[in-house]
Amino acid sequence: MRLILLGPPGAGKGTQAARLVETHSIPQLSTGDMLRAAVAAETETGLKAKAVMEAGDLVSDAIVNQIVSDRISEPDCANGFILDGYPRTLAQADAVGDMLTEKGLALDAVVELVVDDRALVGRIVKRAEDAAAAGQPVRKDDTPEVFDERLRAYYKSTAPLTGYYYAKGDLKTVDGMDTIDGVTAQINAALKAH
């Protein structure tokens, strides 16, 4: 199963991806997590990405496409993967399509989590509070100020992907305002119908 999870920051992509990992025994590929690891390790990619991420902007397509291309070639992706936070631009969508075609593979589905924008900032703030309470590192971009920029980047660059995948016949739309279990059930139903 090769799956893309689409949705604005705070839509619940990471939460749902973690559940799909369990159900389908395939890895979750979060470009955000991979970039944060690169920043923490101070690699060349991390050094380039750090300021862009802290400002809530998008890291360049070239960097992110390379990370994903390398990652999906690893053995644990042989049976599929869940892309969480990628693609985020039309150029990335074309790139992942080309990567899969080259391998003789195709996407199974693109699941869009639709969430009321007004709920998103509250979810991001809660995520930061929960992380702090659990003694985990708090993401520097999980603040209301940076969130505004992340939402702008979403509408400018990522929202067009829903039309792109709808036109390809790959898009499944799920009500992301449902409970976590409810969203999981909707995703499972959409994938079964596929």
- Which of the following is catalytic: 13, 36, 123, 172? 13
Residue 38 has which token pair?
Answer: 């690169």
Instruction: Considering the complex, state which of residue 59 and residue 174 has its C-beta at the smaller distance from ligand AMP.
Output: 59
User: Which backbone phi and psi does 56 adopt, to 5 degrees?
Assistant: 85, 10
Give CA–CA dist 159/101, Å, rounded: 24
Closer CB to ligand AMP, 98 or 194, in the complex: 98
Task: Indicate if 139 belongs to the active site.
Answer: yes
The catalytic residue among 36, 50, 88, 123 is 88
Token pair, residue 59, equals 């890291």
Q: Which residues contact 167 (CB under 8 A, 6 or more apart)?
A: none
Residue pair 173/164 in contact by the 8 Å Cβ criterion: no
What gap in Å lies between CA 175 and CA 187, rounded to an integer?
9
In angstroms, the Cα distances linking 12 to 67, 104, 192 are 22, 30, 20
Which residue among 88, 96, 151, 172 contacts ligand AMP (CB under 6 A)? 88
Please indicate whether residue 13 is annotated as part of the active site: yes
19-48 positions binding ligand AMP, by CB under 6 A? 31-32, 35
Of 19, 71, 139, 140, the catalytic one is: 139
- For residues 44 to 83, the per-residue mask of contacts with ligand AMP, x marking binding by CB under 6 A and - elsewhere, is --------xx--xxxx----x-------------------
* Active-site residue list: 13, 88, 127, 139, 150
- Chain contacts with ligand AMP (rule: CB under 6 A): 9, 31-32, 35, 52-53, 56-59, 64, 85-86, 88, 92, 141, 150
